[in-house]
Amino acid sequence: MTSRLPEDFLHYVWKFGFFDKNNLTTTKGTVLQITHSGIHNQDAGPDFLQAQIFLDNRIWFGNIEIHYNSSDWDKHKHSEDRNYASIILHVVFYHDKEIDFLENNAIETLEIGKLISQQLIQNHKKLLTRKERILCSSNLISTSSITIKSTIEHCAIERIQHKLSDFYRLHNLAKNNWEELSLLIFARCFGGKTNADPFERLIRSIGFQNIFKLRSDLFILESVLFGQSGLLEDNISHSYVSAIQKEYTFQRKKYALAPMKHSDWKFSRLRPTSFPTLRIAQFARFLFQCEHLYNLINLTDIQDILEFLNFSIDGFWNTHYNFKKTSTFRVKKVGHSFKSYFVINGIVPLLFYSGIKKDDQSFKDRALKMLESLSPEKNNIVKSWHEIGVTIDSAFDSQGLIQLNNYYCRKKRCLECKIGHQIVSNI
């Protein structure tokens, strides 16, 4: 008997009809005809919903459950779950046991193990047992460019949608105020992957309206942001530090602020240019020079956005990355990689989200066009795809490939990928 196959492979076989459907009969000898295999259910409950079949010329509508062995029904305790009361057919690779199906003993079982091409099974096994980082790398040369391109496009849009999952929460915190939502989104961008949450807490601890009041004076804004962050160090003999400590003491009493803790922030494994101290100073300058945050999405030329971010912080920060240690003099400009990160994780998803909330496709189109006009990111994931011959022209491509790598390749979800589908089904 064939070694046990994963159920997602059996879902794939059923979904695309990759088995011999001629002269089908159930394990009880009932003639079976499949007219609609159902809708693949990615949530809890039966595997396929709203299917349609004929059993001895009698039509049945309902759900399909799929297992490797018939006995898996009992192992999963489906007979105790009312969600499975609407099953009309049990599809299994190997029928090893007769099952009592809830109160409906009329449910039939279809054994498909011998109906599946051995070549299909071998293609699947061969793909998933490879050692390469990108399992399909050796097959890409024979995979159509249209398939590769459409896969990247699908994944790029999916990646944007994944980023939006937190926007609904943020919009609720902002009480549906677009300017306050923009403040939260952009603050999280300045925090990066490591300090996004602390940056959000920093803004919320000060209050949206307080931030907007304070940003007309850069020094006061810096003082409140740094003091409230908990990152200000005592006993630093520098006039700038002393001045912002004094100013924060005044503003803290005025607005009844409770500061965060130094331990809320992460410095380890970060390059000095990404230290939260430096990012807070840059964020203060960003807020100071941008009167209307949400209006940034109206900048249609990507160069205008990049130019807007083309500023530096000077004075104390020319010789510091944090408050403790003096460093070699260096003007702290906002780097190109952060500018790209800000557009990709701030402007683009905010534009796309606006399109959803306002039911306006033009916002979404502008978001995608913006990604297409931005240079691709440079990281190990993108490099891996480039090395195996995938063309990467823009951030739209690199975002799609990052999504493909993180949510499909790493998790070996090849059967849910158009590229993997073409490779496995090539029989």
With beta carbons less than 8 A apart as the criterion, state whether 418 and 146 touch.
no
- Strand (E) or helix (H) holding 5: none
With beta carbons less than 8 A apart as the criterion, state whether 225 and 215 touch.
no
Q: Which amino acid is at 404?
A: L
With beta carbons less than 8 A apart as the criterion, state whether 342 and 309 touch.
yes
- 321 shares its domain with 187: yes
- 270 shares its domain with 295: yes
Would you put residue 206 in left (φ > 0), alpha (ψ -120 to 50) or beta? alpha
* Residue in 105, 110, 74 with CA at minimum distance from that of residue 92: 110
In the block, which residue shows the tokens 């159930």?
26
- 42 shares its domain with 100: yes
- 381 shares its domain with 333: no
**Residue 227 placed within a domain:** yes
**Rounded distance between C-alpha atoms, residue 145 and residue 418, angstroms:** 12
The answer on pLDDT for 2 being more than 60 is: no
pLDDT for 79 equals: 85
pLDDT for 104 equals: 56
**Residue 16 placed within a domain:** yes
**Rounded distance between C-alpha atoms, residue 166 and residue 162, angstroms:** 8
User: Which of the four pLDDT bands, split at 50, 70 and 90, describes residue 1?
Assistant: very low
**Predicted structure pTM score:** 0.86
Q: Report the DSSP pairing between strands 332-333 and 312-313.
A: antiparallel
Residue 151 is classified by DSSP as H
Q: Which amino acid is at 342?
A: F
Q: 102-134: per-residue pLDDT in tens?
A: 665 668 999 999 999 999 999 999 999 888 889
Of 22-26, 83-87, 253-257, 339-343, the range with the lowest mean pLDDT is 83-87
**Alpha-carbon dihedral sign for residues 35, 37, 39, 43:** positive
Residue range(s) defining the domain that contains residue 405? 137-161+375-424
**Residue 123 placed within a domain:** no
**Rounded distance between C-alpha atoms, residue 398 and residue 390, angstroms:** 10
- 420 shares its domain with 321: no
- 178 shares its domain with 215: yes
**Rounded distance between C-alpha atoms, residue 343 and residue 362, angstroms:** 18
- 22 shares its domain with 141: no
Strand partners, 39: 49
Q: What angle (nearest 5°) sits at the alpha carbon of residue 274, between those of residues 273 and 276? A: 120
pLDDT for 75 equals: 92
- 249 shares its domain with 216: yes
The answer on pLDDT for 298 being more than 50 is: yes
**What is the number of other CB atoms lying within 10 angstroms of the CB of residue 15?**
16
**Residue 167 placed within a domain:** no
- 50 shares its domain with 153: no
With beta carbons less than 8 A apart as the criterion, state whether 154 and 418 touch.
yes
Q: Which amino acid is at 274?
A: S
**Residue 132 placed within a domain:** no
**Residue 404 placed within a domain:** yes
Q: Report the DSSP pairing between strands 87-94 and 108-111.
A: parallel
The answer on pLDDT for 266 being more than 50 is: yes
Q: What mean pLDDT value characterizes the chain?
A: 94
Report the number of distinct structural domains present in the chain: 3
The answer on pLDDT for 291 being more than 50 is: yes
**Residue 335 placed within a domain:** yes
Q: 377-423: per-residue pLDDT in tens?
A: 999 999 999 999 999 999 999 999 999 999 999 999 999 999 999 99
In the predicted model, what is the mean pLDDT of residues 28-33? 95
pLDDT for 324 equals: 87
**Can you read off the two tokens belonging to residue 308?**
């807007």
- 65 shares its domain with 146: no
In the predicted model, what is the mean pLDDT of residues 174-180? 97
Q: What b/e string do you get for 55-74 counting C-beta neighbours within 10 Å, with b at 16 or more?
A: beeeebebbbbbbbbbbbbe
**Can you read off the two tokens belonging to residue 257?**
């602020």
**Residue 232 placed within a domain:** yes
The answer on pLDDT for 332 being more than 50 is: yes
* Residue in 416, 413, 379, 412 with CA at minimum distance from that of residue 398: 379
- 197 shares its domain with 68: no
- 178 shares its domain with 301: yes
pLDDT for 290 equals: 94
